[in-house]
């Protein structure tokens, strides 16, 4: 069976009525009518339609359900307005939306695409003709830390300037950041956004059981209702950690199969969500469900005297970076399939119709996975940070009517795991107090070496004239006395002064001068791009690429994504060691 090509259009169903988008043979899932085939029978894909003529063609979203307010009209050649959603970069730049949803790693593209200035209300002459963004909403602030947070804090230098209509002295956009796990938020905000005024909402209350957003759920008599229960397992008597995993996985799975309840009561416990700290550990555990865990299921059945008809045959799913991005929503949809005895008996049914027995997951589930039916989780090894531990374990038990069980498996050979097991009760009693402060150092020397030239080029190409400075690196656009150079120097100096308290200002300004001197001395023909490397060195080349030795390092390796900050190593096959002594020079 030939795999389907990756779907680049993001939306897999109508956000208004839930009808399915995509190939017509896609399995049904949700929606009021959920028609998978176009009404005229002429299209093999529904939901995505050509719009415009000639070179101005694009793709619009139109619901295949005629009864939807954003669906196709019944009269031939007549259409209702398409969904007001755009995902194509060229369309977004041509007509900037009122609400732009993106990820922070895309900030690096400001140095490569001068047309992105339109998102900030800047016209081709470099002046704000339209109002810049006035509200920035940052979700999951605790994730903007470490190397990613450091790069984001550096590029926020130029983004803050682009959002201020008349320069640095004007009021910037309001920033709303949300997170459930953070420590020392004032410091992180100062390093990321250079803001000294931080308002925490909701403020600390008078009662631990009432935080405004959430209250302790109690029975009418005042007693607490069942919530999320944490259980720690460490088995030093087992020969290996894999043995512990296989036995715990088997017990958790078989427990759901033999519990005395109906389908509705069994459903929350049927799917076991397994979290692993690395793909290496996940790959090793995947084989356990094929052999070891299945064999131990038979041991449990024999020990309890239960019919072999009750034994489970694990049907596994995976949520990791190893699967395609357009497959992630499909896997999440499969996790939403509820258990029923009828589905259990249809072993030969389509994969999309079978409830998932086991989902093997990496840190991709840390945020954004909100599936109320899940109540059972196994965490293999203590996660690296308390923040990650809280976020991961919060993926289950999200329904107030369905409590959750989190089983943490600790490796007997890992000192850190043993320490957490020994302090298990005290650690969980003060779980949120254990959250570590984040690290954001946008003007440390390694960060300056990787990001400063990108900030300079981004400022030049976004604030300069688009047809001159925006497209041409030659002649040098920052000659002494030019206003654009003064803007960049003032922008960087004030940012470094605020973030570092002036400690790193002289060093960063010296690096800034060095970069500008390199630009003037090299006198490159072009800024550079993502195609084949040219013969003559451009000002920039994608970070991680191997430039020709003839360039003599006269080109800056510049980030195109803030998630990849290190270059990769490439192997070079040589025959030098195969040469005989006589052949050597």
Cα(360)–Cα(381) distance, rounded to whole angstroms? 14
Domain 235-434 coded CATH 3.40.50.1000: no
Domain positions in the chain: 1-87, 104-198+440-558, 235-434
H/E run at residue 274: strand 272-276
pLDDT tens by residue, the chain, 585 residues: 456 667 778 788 899 998 888 776 544 444 444 433 333 444 577 888 888 776 778 888 988 888 888 887 766 667 678 899 998 888 999 899 999 999 999 999 999 999 999 999 999 988 888 889 999 999 999 989 889 999 999 999 999 999 987 666 677 899 999 988 888 889 999 999 999 889 888 877 777 777 777 788 888 898 888 889 999 999 999 989 999 999 999 899 888 888 888 888 989 999 999 999 998 889 888 888 878 887 888 888 878 777 655 566 677 889 998 888 878 888 888 898 888 766 555 555 555 677 888 999 998 898 878 899 999 999 999 999 999 999 999 999 988 888 999 999 999 899 999 999 999 999 999 998 899 888 899 999 999 999 999 999 999 999 999 999 999 998 888 875 578 899 999 999 999 999 999 999 999 999 999 999 999 999 999 999 998 889 899 999 999 888 898 999 999 999 999 877 566 666 777 776 776 666 656
- Spell out the residues 6+ positions from residue 213 whose beta carbon is closer than 8 angstroms to its own: 202
Element at 342 (helix H, strand E):
helix 341-345
> CA-to-CA distance for 28 and 12, rounded, in angstroms?
11
pTM, 2 dp: 0.84
Alpha-carbon distance of 50 to 44, in angstroms, equals 13
Question: Which residues pair with residue 317 across a beta bridge?
Answer: 359
Among left, alpha and beta (phi > 0; psi -120 to 50; other), residue 51 is beta
Task: Give kind and range of the element (H or E) at residue 484.
Answer: helix 483-500
For the chain, the straight-line distance linking the first and the last C-alpha, in angstroms and rounded, comes to 55
């Amino acid at each position: 069976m030939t795999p389907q090509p990756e779907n680049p259009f993001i939306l897999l169903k109508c956000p208004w009525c839930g009808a399915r988008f995509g190939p017509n043979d896609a399995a049904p899932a949700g929606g009021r009518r959920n028609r998978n085939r176009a009404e005229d029978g002429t299209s093999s894909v529904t939901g995505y339609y050509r719009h415009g003529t000639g070179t101005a063609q694009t793709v619009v979203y139109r619901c295949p359900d005629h009864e939807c307010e954003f669906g196709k009209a019944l009269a031939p050649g007549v259409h209702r307005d398409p969904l007001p959603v755009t995902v194509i970069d060229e369309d977004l730049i041509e007509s900037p939306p009122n609400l732009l949803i993106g990820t922070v790693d895309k900030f690096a593209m400001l140095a490569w695409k001068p047309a992105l200035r339109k998102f900030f209300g800047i016209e081709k002459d470099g002046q704000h003709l339209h109002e810049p963004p006035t509200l920035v909403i940052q979700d999951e602030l605790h994730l903007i830390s470490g190397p990613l947070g450091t790069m984001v804090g550096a590029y926020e230098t130029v983004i803050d300037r682009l959002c201020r209509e008349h320069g640095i002295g004007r009021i910037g956009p309001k920033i709303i950041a949300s997170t459930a796990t953070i420590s020392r938020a004032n410091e992180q905000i100062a390093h990321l956004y250079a803001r000294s005024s931080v308002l925490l909402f909701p403020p600390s209350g008078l009662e631990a059981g009432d935080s405004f957003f959430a209250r302790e759920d109690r029975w009418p008599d005042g007693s607490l209702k069942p919530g999320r229960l944490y259980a720690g397992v460490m088995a030093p008597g087992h020969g290996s950690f894999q043995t512990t995993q296989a036995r715990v996985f088997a017990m958790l799975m078989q427990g759901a199969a033999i519990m005395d309840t109906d389908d509705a009561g069994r459903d929350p416990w049927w799917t076991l969500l397994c979290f692993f700290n690395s793909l290496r550990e996940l790959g090793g555990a995947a084989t356990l469900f094929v052999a070891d865990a299945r064999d131990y299921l038979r041991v449990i059945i024999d020990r309890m005297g239960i019919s072999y008809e009750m034994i489970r045959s694990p049907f596994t799913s995976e949520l990791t970076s190893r699967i395609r991005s357009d497959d992630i929503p499909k896997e999440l949809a499969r996790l939403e399939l509820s258990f029923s005895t009828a589905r259990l008996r249809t072993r030969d049914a389509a994969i999309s119709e079978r409830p998932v027995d086991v989902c093997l997951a990496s840190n991709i589930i840390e945020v954004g996975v909100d599936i109320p039916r899940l109540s059972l989780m196994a965490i293999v090894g203590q996660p690296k940070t308390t923040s990650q531990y809280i976020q991961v374990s919060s993926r289950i038990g999200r329904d107030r009517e369905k409590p959750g069980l989190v089983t943490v498996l600790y490796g007997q050979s890992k000192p850190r795991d043993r320490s957490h097991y020994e302090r298990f009760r005290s650690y969980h009693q003060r779980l949120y107090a254990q959250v570590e402060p984040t690290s954001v150092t946008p003007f440390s020397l390694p960060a300056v070496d990787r990001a400063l030239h990108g900030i300079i080029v981004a400022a030049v190409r976004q604030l300069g004239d688009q047809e001159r400075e925006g497209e041409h690196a030659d002649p040098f656009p920052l000659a002494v006395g030019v206003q654009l150079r003064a803007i960049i120097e003032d922008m960087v100096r004030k940012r470094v002064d605020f973030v570092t308290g002036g400690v790193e200002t002289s060093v960063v300004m010296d690096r800034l001068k060095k970069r500008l001197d390199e630009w003037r001395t090299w006198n490159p023909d072009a800024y550079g791009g993502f195609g084949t490397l040219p013969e003559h060195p451009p000002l920039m080349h994608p970070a991680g690429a191997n430039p020709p030795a003839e360039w003599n390092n006269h080109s800056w390796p510049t980030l195109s994504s803030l998630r990849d900050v290190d270059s990769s190593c490439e192997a070079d096959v040589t025959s030098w060691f195969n040469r005989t002594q006589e052949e050597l020079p």
